[in-house]
């Protein structure tokens, strides 16, 4: 019984469900008579669906070739959003409700479906914590089942047909576009950068330039290295091991007898300033811009730039002061 | 082929130039990945049963045990499917929007007199920090920002500019509010998650230090995350406050 529950409420099930949703999107696109590129777009989302469902079991080389097909379809401009059902909505510059049947006066009950998503996510997280399972995985499984539960709640509440639900989801997904797979592609780039030793090259570059007895410059170099490498990788988590092993520990912690907990923690968030200003962190900066249908895909980055540029030097200062005080 | 090591950084150049010229990001990223891998002499494919005996393939297949570029691409893409899981939340959000979700969010905030754009976005940032402290992980962009935070901020802007409807707000205002809503989520999420010892940031620092020979207490790590988290809240409050100010000055 416990085994059955573990199989049902697993990441694999959530991947399967997302894959099926993608298949439905692909089919609706293919059947859309007004679509500017039905075949290419449907193929793109269907292949992504295949990777979602079979990704764990397919040989990595096959998945790799499928990814190359995805990118080729996008590169050849064969993946496009569908046109709106009715063309009498010129105010398409804001993410308003899509055209079609709707209720004149919504009530607060319309919040129920979207509130279902965080509610289910949190329930899963807490259950996983109580049962001493992987909490991060619990949150992701919760997100998947939350999305599914929200679909049921939305259907019951609005009494809309299933097709309308999936078609609206399909339109929103197509509107966001191929940018949706960018975080996954960037993760692959990160793996290849790591295999090619790009991080070590950057760390070695820093070591060669900075005088080894000048604490302040070393702190600057450490935080700058973390910042730059995070900008390159799009992820402070990928940068930390390289910078900690290449710069922080050998050049600051060991020779100056610095508290490693303090130094490493501040180094990590020095990287977060980089995450805020790099398009490589697509899941935080580029995908949300698409989700909000921003005209400028870099608008979120632009807004975060002054925040990051003020916060980063404060890391240098804080670390230097804390080392001097100890 | 013997290239100097720094030639591998050419991939970075491809990314920088590609993003700057706004070439399709998917194409840019995969080209950079393949170029970096080839310059580092990583084979294209992992050697699999019998494949290395095919003459055409001999040059692109690695030694046994060496992972190929295409394999890495596929492995990392499959392992990171979790980053694209939000797609499953899109149908419910889109259908709710058809039935007036965003209008209702804006209407609700209009009833709260003290709600301003700046305060609203700061309160959301604070909310995300509290979620971090409680180690509750939610992908806030699809679940909170698009359906709730952004339309509420837009509603607050409408009240203050005395516009008849949110459609009458100038496009530049709408764009800035969208960007600020996404930023509020990122600020709260990035710095709030380090305030809990079971969140991945703290666990990463713990395991990296352990790998380098230092065993530290996770609570000590959380303690050293507090100053920056506090500063991030102050900076967020300031930036969101200025956002409201600047907009009002223009009207």
pLDDT tens profile A254-294: 999 999 999 999 999 999 999 999 999 999 999 999 999 99
Give B153's pLDDT tier (boundaries 50, 70, 90): very high
Give B248's pLDDT tier (boundaries 50, 70, 90): low
Q: What is the mean pLDDT of chain A?
A: 90
Cα A186 to chain centroid distance, Å, stands at: 10
Judge if A135 and A257 occupy the same domain: no
Q: What is the pLDDT of residue B75?
A: 94
Judge if A219 and A115 occupy the same domain: no
pTM for the complete prediction?
0.86
Q: What is the pLDDT of residue A65?
A: 97
Query: A12-16, A205-209, A267-271: lowest mean pLDDT where?
Result: A205-209
Using the Cβ of A291 and the Cβ atoms of chain B, whether some distance falls under 8 Å is answered with yes
Start-to-end C-alpha separation, chain A: 55
Judge if B92 and B66 occupy the same domain: no
Kindly state the greatest CA–CA separation across chain B: 75
For residue B113, the 8-state DSSP code is: T
Judge if A253 and A131 occupy the same domain: no
Say how far apart CA B19 and CA A265 lie, in whole Å.
Answer: 30
Give B49's pLDDT tier (boundaries 50, 70, 90): low
Judge if B25 and B136 occupy the same domain: no
Least Cα distance to A234 among A288, A173, A269, A183 occurs for A183
Give B163's pLDDT tier (boundaries 50, 70, 90): confident
Would you say residue A191 lies in a domain? no
Give B54's pLDDT tier (boundaries 50, 70, 90): low
Does A197 score more than 60 pLDDT?
yes
Q: Which of A63, A144, A232 to mutate to test the interface with B (most CBs of B within 10 A)?
A: A63
Judge if A279 and A311 occupy the same domain: yes
Cβ pair B92:A116 closer than 8 A: yes
Q: How far is B30 from chain A (nearest CA, A)?
A: 7
Judge if B53 and B152 occupy the same domain: no
Q: What is the pLDDT of residue B2?
A: 67
Last residue of a domain, one of B81, B116, B133: B81
Give A18's pLDDT tier (boundaries 50, 70, 90): very high
Chain B environment of A21 (Cβ under 8 Å): 87-88, 91
Would you say residue A87 lies in a domain? no
Judge if B100 and B139 occupy the same domain: yes
Q: What is the pLDDT of residue B244?
A: 81
Judge if B151 and B199 occupy the same domain: yes
Query: A152-166, A223-237, B43-57, B228-242: lowest mean pLDDT where?
Result: B43-57
Would you say residue A89 lies in a domain? no
Cβ pair B42:A192 closer than 8 A: yes
Q: Do A94 and B167 meet the contact criterion of CB atoms below 8 Å apart?
A: yes
Q: What is the pLDDT of residue B6?
A: 83
Judge if B107 and B172 occupy the same domain: yes
Judge if B90 and B54 occupy the same domain: no
pLDDT digit string, tens, across residues A64-118: 999 999 999 999 999 999 876 543 333 434 444 455 555 557 788 999 998 999 8
ipTM summary value = 0.87
Would you say residue A220 lies in a domain? yes
Among the residues of A76-214, which ranges form H helices? Answer: 112-130, 135-158, 162-176, 182-196, 198-209
By C-alpha distance, the chain A residue nearest B136 is: A122
Judge if B40 and B71 occupy the same domain: yes
Segment B244-248 shows an average pLDDT of 66
Q: What is the pLDDT of residue A103?
A: 55
**Using CB atoms, which residue from B46, B212, B214 is nearest to A61?**
B46
Does B59 score more than 80 pLDDT?
no
Chain A environment of B69 (Cβ under 8 Å): 64, 192
Structure tokens at B161: 């500019």
Would you say residue A187 lies in a domain? no
Q: What is the pLDDT of residue A92?
A: 39
Structure tokens at A274: 């980089």
Judge if B126 and B239 occupy the same domain: yes
Judge if A216 and A258 occupy the same domain: yes
Does A30 score more than 70 pLDDT?
yes
B19 is in which domain, residue-wise? 5-81
Structure tokens at B134: 């409680």
Q: What is the pLDDT of residue A314?
A: 98
Judge if A163 and A264 occupy the same domain: no
Judge if B29 and B43 occupy the same domain: yes
A296 is in which domain, residue-wise? 197-325
Q: How many structural domains are present in chain A?
A: 2
Using the Cβ of A64 and the Cβ atoms of chain B, whether some distance falls under 8 Å is answered with yes
pLDDT digit string, tens, across residues B74-116: 999 999 998 899 999 999 999 999 999 888 888 887 777 778 8
Judge if A273 and A318 occupy the same domain: yes
Q: How many structural domains are present in chain B?
A: 2
Considering only residues 223 to 242 of chain A, which have any Cβ-Cβ distance to chain B shorter than 8 Å?
232, 237, 240-241
Judge if B56 and B109 occupy the same domain: no
Using the Cβ of A8 and the Cβ atoms of chain B, whether some distance falls under 8 Å is answered with no
Judge if A160 and A275 occupy the same domain: no
Judge if A258 and A129 occupy the same domain: no
Would you say residue A182 lies in a domain? no
Judge if B75 and B100 occupy the same domain: no
Judge if A42 and A136 occupy the same domain: yes
Judge if A159 and A300 occupy the same domain: no
Chain B environment of A185 (Cβ under 8 Å): 26, 29-30, 33, 77
């Amino acid at each position: 019984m416990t085994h059955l529950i573990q199989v049902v409420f697993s990441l694999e099930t959530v991947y399967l469900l997302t894959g099926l949703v993608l298949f439905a999107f692909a089919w609706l696109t293919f059947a859309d008579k007004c679509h500017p590129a039905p075949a290419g777009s449907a193929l793109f989302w269907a292949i992504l669906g295949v990777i979602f469902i079979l990704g764990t079991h397919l040989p990595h080389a096959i998945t790799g070739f499928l990814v190359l097909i995805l990118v080729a379809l996008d590169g050849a401009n064969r993946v496009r959003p569908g046109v709106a059902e009715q063309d009498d909505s010129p105010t398409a510059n804001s993410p308003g409700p899509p055209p079609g049947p709707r209720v004149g006066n919504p009530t607060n009950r319309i919040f129920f479906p979207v509130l279902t998503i965080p509610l289910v996510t949190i329930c899963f997280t807490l259950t996983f914590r109580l049962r001493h399972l992987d909490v991060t995985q619990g949150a992701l499984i919760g997100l998947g089942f939350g999305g599914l539960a929200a679909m049921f709640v939305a259907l019951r509440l609005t009494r809309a047909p299933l097709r309308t639900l999936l078609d609206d989801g399909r339109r929103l997904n197509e509107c966001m576009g191929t940018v949706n797979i960018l975080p996954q592609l960037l993760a692959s780039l990160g793996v290849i950068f790591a295999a090619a030793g790009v991080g070590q090259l950057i760390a070695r570059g820093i070591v060669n330039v900075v005088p080894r007895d000048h604490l302040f410059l070393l702190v600057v170099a450490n935080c700058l290295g973390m910042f730059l490498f995070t900008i390159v990788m799009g992820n402070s988590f990928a940068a930390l091991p390289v910078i900690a092993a290449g710069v922080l520990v050998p050049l600051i912690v060991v020779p100056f007898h610095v508290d490693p907990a303090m130094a490493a923690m501040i180094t990590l968030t020095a990287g977060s300033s980089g995450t805020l200003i790099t398009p490589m962190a697509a899941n935080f900066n580029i995908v949300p811009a698409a989700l909000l249908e921003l005209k400028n895909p870099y608008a979120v980055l632009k807004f975060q730039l002054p925040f990051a540029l003020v916060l980063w030097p404060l890391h240098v200062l804080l670390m230097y002061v804390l080392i001097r005080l100890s | 082929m013997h290239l100097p090591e720094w030639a591998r950084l050419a991939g970075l150049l491809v990314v920088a130039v590609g993003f700057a010229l706004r070439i399709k990001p998917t194409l840019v990223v995969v080209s950079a990945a393949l170029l970096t891998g080839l310059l580092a002499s990583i084979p294209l494919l992992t050697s699999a049963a019998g494949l290395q005996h095919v003459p055409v393939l001999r040059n692109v297949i690695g030694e046994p045990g060496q992972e190929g570029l295409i394999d890495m691409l596929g492995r990392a893409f499959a392992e990171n499917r979790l980053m694209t899981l939000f797609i499953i939340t899109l149908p419910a959000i889109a259908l709710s929007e058809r039935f007036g979700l965003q209008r209702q969010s804006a209407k609700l905030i209009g009833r709260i007199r003290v709600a301003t754009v700046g305060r609203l976005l700061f309160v959301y940032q604070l909310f995300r920090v509290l979620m971090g402290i409680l180690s509750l992980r939610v992908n806030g962009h699809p679940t909170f920002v698009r359906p709730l935070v952004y339309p509420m901020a837009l509603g607050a802007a409408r009240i203050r500019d005395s516009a008849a409807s949110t459609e009458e707000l100038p496009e530049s205002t709408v764009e800035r509010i969208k960007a600020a809503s996404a930023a509020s989520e990122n600020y709260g999420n990035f710095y709030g998650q380090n305030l809990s010892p079971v969140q991945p940031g703290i666990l990463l620092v713990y395991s990296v230090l352990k790998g380098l020979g230092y065993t530290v207490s996770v609570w000590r790590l959380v303690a050293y995350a507090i100053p920056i988290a506090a500063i991030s809240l102050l900076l967020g409050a300031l930036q969101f406050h200025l956002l409201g100010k600047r907009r009002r000055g223009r009207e």
